[in-house]
Every structure is written in structure tokens, then in C-alpha cells.
Structure 1
């Protein structure tokens, strides 16, 4: 089955809100319902459901900070669908979409430095840690697109 990103609509938002991570991961992930509310009332927020075949299995939200910077604020895969390569495929698709605006020079992500998987996972996509964020809580990592040739791969998007 293929992994894809789809718009969140009145037909799938409840299923996205019902997705959850394992108990030990909950301190690392924000609530999907709250994220959807944020996106509804703020400009520059984009949300996508992660699908595996025809099943919604995860959630993304990214924010356009300015004409050169995008930040991934939310990324989760439901506990029943983890360890299947879905998160890796979904992040690849999201990065492809995030890179589409012509002026984007930087993609940022923050994660809890105590998260045992995050550093290696994100660095495998080219994110480089630059230090703890301004709130002194999360690790900030970036992909700098200004000095590199961006290679874009085909994207499954519905």
C-alpha cells in the first residue's frame, strides 16, 4: 500500500482527531484536534492527513513563518502504524510539498532532545541541529536550502 498526504476535510477530520501515539510518546506530540483549530484560525498554517492506502494513519502541520522559512510544527503517526516506514515516506512527501514555493530557503523542525528516535530520524533527511530553541525546551534543526541544489522527487498527493 502507498503512503500519501491528503487535505483534511469534513470527511476525514474526525478520523485524524482520533489518531494517537503510545502513552510513552504523548509528551512529545501535540493534540491533532488542537492543531486543526490552530490551523483554522491562523494564516500560513497547512495541515495534511497521512494515509496508508485508504486509511488515515497520521498528521502533519507546517507553518510559513515568512517568505523564506517553513516550520514543521506537528508530525505524528498513530501507534498502530508505527515501525512500518510510513513516517519516513510521509516526511519525504511533506518535504517535497514544503519545498514547492520558489523562495523557501530554510525548513525548520523542533523536537524534544529526550526523544530517543528524533535526532537520527530527522538528520537522515538532512536536518542539522543548531541548538536549543528560544524557549529553552526543544532542539531546533534546519535544512538549509539556500546553498544546495534541491532535488525534488515525485509526490503522491490527493
Structure 2
């Protein structure tokens, strides 16, 4: 299976908006439609479609919070394409792209602290938990560059 990240365009945005997570995951993931609206009106928001064998199967959005810090705000794989290692490959590709940003010092991601799978997944990429986010709701993990 060939997996890549691509720009979201007039040709693929509808397919990205139609992607869904499982019912159990819905409380943890903002809609792709809302994320695309946010990115359209906020500088420093970057979106990518996750493509598997030519088909949109997932979505990323990251935000350049400051010159040295990027936060991954959205990351999802459609429920029909989960458990196929697509997310693992896609996160690796996203991190490669993000690390090309000049003067980058850290990459952050947040997740539900009760989600042991997320903790193991992100730590396998080098994310280290640093404590709860400012709202006290999500675990904050960071990669220092």
C-alpha cells in the first residue's frame, strides 16, 4: 500500500470532509470540515490529506504556534482504514515534513490521558509526556528537535 500526504484542494476536500472515525472516537476528534474552515481563516494552520493507494483515507492539521513550536491539532484515519498501519506511516511522513520548518525546536501533540494506545503510539515516535495541557483535560507530549 502506497501512503502519502498531499495538499487539500478543490478536487479532494469533499472526500476529506466525508471521512469518519468510529463512534467511540467521535468525542476525541474534531470534524474535518470544521478543521478546514479553521485553517482557511488562520495563518500558520497547515492541512494534509492522508492518501492510501490514491484514495483519501485520513487527515492532518498542524499549527505553527511560534517560530520554534508546531502543535499537531488534528490527526485521524477513517474508520474503514484503521488497523492497517496507515496512521503510523502517515505520522512519520507528517513529522518529516514538519521537521523541515526552519528554526523548529519542538513538536507537540495532545491526547486523552486515559488512552493507553495513544500514549504508546506517540511515544514510539519520540513524543515524551510533559504533563496535562493548560485546560487540564489532555496529556501534552513533546518531541524536542
TM-score w.r.t. structure 1 length?
Answer: 0.90
1:17 aligns with: 17
2:139 aligns with: 139
Deviations 1:104-147 (A, max 9, x none): 000000111122411000000000000000001000000011xx
Report if aligned partners of 1:105, 1:144 keep a CA contact under 8 Å in 2.
Answer: yes
Report if aligned partners of 1:28, 1:115 keep a CA contact under 8 Å in 2.
Answer: no
How far apart are the structure 1 equivalents of 2:33 and 2:95?
23
1:52 aligns with: 52
Q: What is the CA-CA distance between 1:84 and the residue it aligns to?
A: 0.4
1:76 aligns with 2:76: yes
How far apart are the structure 1 equivalents of 2:24 and 2:76?
14
TM-score w.r.t. structure 2 length?
Answer: 0.98
Q: Cα RMSD (Å) of the superposition?
A: 0.6
Q: Gaps spanning 5+ residues in structure 1: where?
A: 146-158
Regions of 4+ moved over 6 Å = none
Q: Gaps spanning 5+ residues in structure 2: where?
A: none
Q: How many residues align?
A: 145
> How do residues 108-123 of structure 1 correspond to structure 2 at under 5 angstroms?
108-123=108-123
1:3 aligns with: 3
